[in-house]
Structure 1
Amino acid sequence: MAELPTTEGEVAFEVPEAGKPCKTFYKILGSLEATTGPVLIALHGGPGAGHEYLSPLGDLYAAPYNIPTVLYDQIGCGRSTHLREKNGDEAFWSFDLFIRELDNLIDHLNLRGRGFYLLGQSWGGVLGATYAMRHPDAPGLKKLVIAGGPASIPLYLEGLKTLLARLPADVRETLEDCDRRGDHHSEEFQKAAKVFGKNFVCSLDPLPLEVQAGYKNLKEDPTVYLTIQGPAEFVIVGSIRGWEGWKEAHKIKVETLLLNGKNDEVTNLAMYPWFKTIPRVRWVTFEKASHQAHWEDRERYMQEVGDFLASTDPHERKA
């Protein structure tokens, strides 16, 4: 396979409430000049995990799809502007902030005319769905992929209970005890949390370096993660607590593909309301994957996403 062309850049992002100049770092996998069709924009999870772990999406630049992908670090993480002084400021770290950043990047790259697809993974799926719900007629938006992005945080937490029950008793008891004591930083908690991650976040051993980079981003600056989510995947005390995005999902006009893994921390319970509510939707569950099917079942994942983006059938509804 020929070497994947890549381009890196930065775009100024005006955030008056930040009190300082801000920028968004982006990386393009593939060439925008060598292709003419819509571009895929990938929204990473965390929030705050950064762009690196979504690098397999560069596979879509190969034939027969020939789709370039734009990765970027959302504000507050990676190589974009950090705002540690905004830790705990729920009003600042709003959906509006991240939607403005996304629109700023789209306009900077002049993607409205040629069109773009959105693929959001985990928190990125929540962000992508929110963008499509709030801007159903957004110029250029062609299709949406929600990969492991819960439709409901209460249902996400409900589904997690069934996953936690599957862990070894000593691991489960450690997590429960630490949570009762508000201990989410000790070595014993982190060790038990890694067992959860191995089962329901990414089952590969060793973890790909790009996935490790996501954990490193979260560790080096947990500002956004702590404010929006909380101290762990299964402890949600941040601003997204109680979120029920599916209630507005009927507003999504574009064709939508739902993805999750059989052992995904975002269980079918948390994905189903998207399927029930979004008018033009398809749902695929990867039997050999957890939360990072783009790594765990990479070939099939790219085929499912590529075929969906290339398809012209606007009314397929299939689980």
Structure 2
Amino acid sequence: MTVAPSAKGTLPFGEHETWYRVTGDLRSDRPTLVVVHGGPGSTHDYLQNLSDLAEDGWSVVHYDQIGNGGSTHLPDRGADFWTVDLFAAELDNLLQGLGIADNYVLFGQSWGGMLITHHAAARPAGLRGLVIANSPASYPLWLQEAKVLRDQLPPGVNETLLRHEAAGTTETDEYHGAMRTFYERHVCRLAPWPRDYLASFYEVYNDPTVYYAMNGPSEFHVNGTLRDWSVIDLCPDVDVPTLLISGRHDEATPATVQPFQDLIPGARWEIFEESSHLPHLEEPEHFRQVMKAFLQEIAPG
């Protein structure tokens, strides 16, 4: 089929702007797939290949959450500004601004999966389905499992990480080198790292304001404002078809995903055997098959 060319733009969000891109036709009868990236403080770039689903008749919306990418950067704002409620309001604003609030599916990756669970628990009338990808149900669980994974790193690596974390020297090359060992095992197992992933990686590096405030200096050392946040109590309120995705080698280990499986009615779980945190890049063909099947169940046609 012929897919309409991507349309890019910005939407006002209070005094700020949210960058977005639409692939496909928002006027289609099928629900629009809205892609909610991780971080917090990352960008849409590493999830760009989800736009390929437009070839199967789905309109796809990517956006950069406020604070990075093409959206408004606010490097002088303190940690009290960067809240879950801020990003939840931005998502609501996007849905209303694009005129899709009455018919949409949400795909949330990592932190994005927690954010869309928060959104879905309010039972918005237009939400048709949820894909929670590579997400923990709580940050305390995430940190508990990160310790397990760190203890399994090659000799000396975790000791280096711990030394720099204790000293507050997590911006040093030595810390970043040890950090990369973890990332190559549990974030992206492809070598070299794909360009789309590197694009988001460097966006965070160039403006880490949101990531540092809410998360912390690395994926596994979470000392930001989200360190105690959980959506476990919200899971029973989700009442739309829900697909869970994780990788066999994911930093989002089975223990971090299990509450979604246990508490979201009817949720089903697909584990990608050759992937870590980015199955859409690590096993793209299988990922697309799984997504197509799930979307087809929501809106046959």
| Contact 2:128 2:298 (C-alpha < 8 Å) held by counterparts | no
CA deviation string 1:215-249 (max 9, x = no partner): 11111111111111111111111111122211221
Q: Which residue of 2 aligns with 1:49?
A: 42
2:114 paired with 1:126: yes
- Paired residue for 1:156, among 142, 149, 157? 142
What residue identity is the alignment partner of 1:106? L
What residue identity is the alignment partner of 1:244? S
| Contact 2:190 2:282 (C-alpha < 8 Å) held by counterparts | yes
> In 2, distance between residues paired with 1:59 and 1:184?
37
Output aligned runs, 1:250-265, within 5 Å. 250-265=236-251
> In 1, distance between residues paired with 2:165 and 2:26?
47
Q: Which residue of 2 aligns with 1:36?
A: 29
Q: Which shifted more, 171-180 or 95-104? A: 171-180
C-alpha RMSD over aligned residues: 1.6
> In 2, distance between residues paired with 1:239 and 1:312?
35
- Paired residue for 2:58, among 59, 63, 67? 67
| Contact 1:30 1:67 (C-alpha < 8 Å) held by counterparts | yes
Match of 1:11, SS state, is: strand
Match of 1:85, SS state, is: coil
Q: Which residue of 1 aligns with 2:187?
A: 201
- Displacement, 1:166? 2.2
- Displacement, 1:4? 6.8
Q: Which residue of 1 aligns with 2:19?
A: 25
| Contact 1:4 1:58 (C-alpha < 8 Å) held by counterparts | no
| Contact 2:3 2:24 (C-alpha < 8 Å) held by counterparts | no
> In 1, distance between residues paired with 2:178 and 2:101?
45
Q: Which residue of 1 aligns with 2:128?
A: 142
Gaps of 5+ in 1: 15-20, 314-319
| Contact 2:117 2:234 (C-alpha < 8 Å) held by counterparts | no
- Paired residue for 1:77, among 68, 82, 92? 68
Gaps of 5+ in 2: none
CA deviation string 1:149-202 (max 9, x = no partner): 110211111111221122111222211221222221000000111111111001
2:4 paired with 1:10: no
> In 2, distance between residues paired with 1:288 and 1:8?
33
Normalising by structure 2, report the TM-score. Answer: 0.95
- Displacement, 1:256? 0.9
- Displacement, 1:53? 0.7
* % same residue: 39
> In 1, distance between residues paired with 2:59 and 2:183?
30
How many residues were matched structurally?
299
2:278 paired with 1:289: no
> In 1, distance between residues paired with 2:6 and 2:147?
41
Q: Which residue of 2 aligns with 1:102?
A: 91
> In 1, distance between residues paired with 2:34 and 2:206?
25
> In 2, distance between residues paired with 1:59 and 1:99?
26
What residue identity is the alignment partner of 2:205? K
| Contact 1:252 1:279 (C-alpha < 8 Å) held by counterparts | yes
- Paired residue for 2:255, among 256, 269, 274? 269
What residue identity is the alignment partner of 2:54? Y
> In 2, distance between residues paired with 1:248 and 1:3?
37
> In 2, distance between residues paired with 1:141 and 1:112?
8
Q: Which residue of 2 aligns with 1:191?
A: 177
Match of 1:25, SS state, is: strand
